[in-house]
Structure 1
Amino acid sequence: MRPRPYSEVDVFSAEPYRGNALAVVHDADGLSAEEMQRFATWTNLSETTFLLAPSSPAADYRVRIFTATEELPFAGHPTLGSARAWLDAGGSPRAGGTLIQECGVGLIPIRIQEDQLAFEAPPLTRYEPVDEVLIGRIAAILGIPRENILDASWLVNGPQWIGVRLASAQEVLDLQPDPAKAGSLEIGVVGPCGSTAETQLEVRAFIGGDPVWEDPVTGSLNAGLARWLTDAGLAAPPYTASQGTVLGRRGRVHISLDDGNIWVGGQVTSCIEGTVRL
């Protein structure tokens, strides 16, 4: 064990401690996957990341992303949070206003924009309608009639998200799902806000299993939802989605479209800096 630089950042909120927390271990080369997983379980946050020297000559750094129970090839709020922590620690991107993150799904461009960072969403590896039997099960999990679900789609880009569309933001906020019924499903629910609302969509993310149930603000889910809703003509980027409202958070996810590619942006605030012995 030795001291390594350590950060905790708050992602997707202009107000510190109102977004989604991320733990970041810098200079993590030499740690085994088992050691990384043990520490991620100990932090008990939705994700913990480990910054390493890149293996690709095109990348500025490499990251490994762990939940409390498993490693993920990609996740959204860890991507932006890791980028902020790397920059705050003195990292300087080779390409000026864009840095390149290496992770399990490959190379992810991240734009540095005034008070925000934004990542280019990776391609969906599973993008298809959900079968009727599973939709019925999801309705039971969410505690709503089957007819309230307007549509559902697989939106896999690392996490195994299933996107579910409801008629309004209020229906999304009113959900009282049963985690005991969810198994290992990862369900993202979205509904449109009213024309006078600050944001255009309300999002909630439910993750089956222990210890996580509702995620405060979720970049990977919002990336998949943006692709799906844009392709269906139901959203027109740029737009802003709110998430975490029921949890007392104030998550804001900014979606834009550039040459057909989805970009997912948000503000990131450094909250804790120090060292950890690993």
Structure 2
Amino acid sequence: MRTIRYITADVFTSQPFTGNQLAVVFGAEGLPTETLQAITREFNYSETTFVFAPETAGTTRRVRIFTPGMEVPFAGHPTIGTAHVLVATGDVPPTAEEIAAGEMTVVLGENVGPVPVRLRLDRGVPSWAQLTTALLPEERVEVTDRTAIAHMLSLDPSDLLGGAYAPTGVSCGLPFQMIPLTSVEAVSRARLRVDAWETALGGRWAEWPMVFAMTGGNDPADLAAHVRGCDIRARVFVPSGGVPEDPATGSANAALAGYLAARTPRDGLLRWEVAQGVEMERPSRLSIEAHKTGGRIDAIRVGGASVIMAEGTMAVPAHG
């Protein structure tokens, strides 16, 4: 047996016991992929990351990301949370100049490529982080049957928007099916029917649905304080990845920023605040932005806070 070290964090939140849980694992060098997948299932969080020495010039660390069901090339809450853990624990300490400047950047080498993460520092301690996606948005329209999409979500077709805001697959490294709804109430009412999902989206390029609606500032009074005032309410379902519903999904929100920016007729910096995980009682807040020049999107960013929750060790077979 050998011992690996782990740290857990709640990501896309400043409040413990909210946001999206993440395990960050150190010391897994040489373990086969099957063992990394088994460790991920042992935590049973939406995702677990494994941190290794950098393999590519210009990167700070090599990071592999797993859901309970598979390895993924890119994901937002693991990227934000891992960067926070690396700096907060001193594994990647800021320089005196970075402390004085109040920010630093780490670059994580992921399967999608290098992903830079800018961290705000409060006297050397990270307080907020923002990733820039390695890939710009790609869109594909694969499904046009509104009735099938609505049935999959236990909704009525009238709950879905249409026209330019019809369901569309979007990816900034991991594809999601963007499904705009007419109201926050419809977002809360959605229930994924897995059998209907298998028929409507299973096996598609963008098979994981993200439902969302603009809030119009009409937050309920009992909404958690750290997600009040958001522009968008969202939910994400990842059935084939072993995650029935995800409390905070940075990769899906990156795709959402691209989807919205492509339908916003102005250049410059576009920003939205997104509340996710509300229905799961894991409220999360994600800051998303896109930059456009000459009508073209040239940057997508996703940001949020993290809270370190626990640390420990795990015994695993020495050779997997």
| TM-score of the aligned structures, taking structure 1 as reference length | 0.92
2:132 and 2:242 mapped to 1: Cα distance? 29
Deviations 1:99-153 (A, max 9, x none): 10100000001000242111002325641223314x4422211122234322111
Matched, 1:250 2:262: no
- 1:207 to partner: Cα distance: 1.7
1:125-204 alignment, distance < 5 Å: 126-133=138-145, 135-150=146-161, 151-183=166-198, 184=202, 185-195=207-217, 197=219, 198-204=229-235
Amino acid at match of 1:153: T
User: C-alpha separation between the residues in 2 aligned to 1:196 and 1:67?
Assistant: 34
SS, match of residue 187 in structure 2:
helix
Distance 1:270 1:123, change over 3 A: same
Partner residue of 2:101? none
State the distance in 1 between where 2:306 and 2:241 align: 27
2:239 is equivalent to residue 208 of structure 1: yes
Q: Name the count of aligned residue pairs.
A: 277
Structure 1 residues 71-95: Cα deviation after superposition (integer angstroms, max 9, x where no partner): 0010111111111122233213689
* Higher mean displacement: 137-146 or 246-255: 137-146
The separation in 2 between residues aligned to 1:257 and 1:245, in whole angstroms, is 24
Of 236, 239, 243, the residue aligned with 2:272 is 239
Structure 2: distance between partners of 1:261 and 1:22: 26
- 1:60 deviation in Å? 0.2
* Bigger Cα displacement from structure 2, 8-17 vs 137-146: 137-146
Partner of 1:105: 112
**Which residue of structure 2 lines up, in the alignment, with residue 226 of structure 1?**
257
Runs of 4+ in 1 over 4 A off after TM superposition: 93-96
The answer to whether the aligner puts 1:118 opposite 2:130 as a matched pair is: yes
Structure 2 residue 287 is matched with structure 1 residue 272: no
Is 2:65–2:71's contact at 8 Å kept on the other side of the alignment?
yes
Provide the residue aligned with 2:46 in structure 1. Answer: 46
Deviates more, 1:52-61 or 1:39-48: 39-48
Question: Which amino acid counterpart does residue 276 of structure 1 have in structure 2?
Answer: M
SS of residue paired to 1:127: strand
Worse overlay, 139-148 or 237-246: 139-148
Q: What letter is aligned with 1:117?
A: A
What's the offset of the Cα at 1:195? 3.2
Q: Is the 8 A contact 1:72 1:158 kept in 2?
A: no
Alignment deviations for residues 165-187 of structure 1 (CA, whole Å, 9 cap, x no partner): 11222221122332332234310
- Aligned partner letter, 2:152: I
TM-score (norm 2): 0.80
Task: Report the equivalent of 2:4.
Answer: 4
What secondary structure does 2:21 align onto? strand
Q: Is there any run of 5+ residues in structure 1 with no aligned partner, and where?
A: none
Say whether 1:27 aligns with 2:49.
Answer: no
- Does structure 2 retain, via aligned residues, the 8 Å contact 1:182–1:209? no
Q: Distance between the aligned counterparts of 2:149 and 2:291, measured in 1?
A: 33
Cα drift, residue 210 of structure 1: 7.2
Q: Which runs of 5+ in 2 are unaligned?
A: 99-103, 122-126, 220-228, 293-297
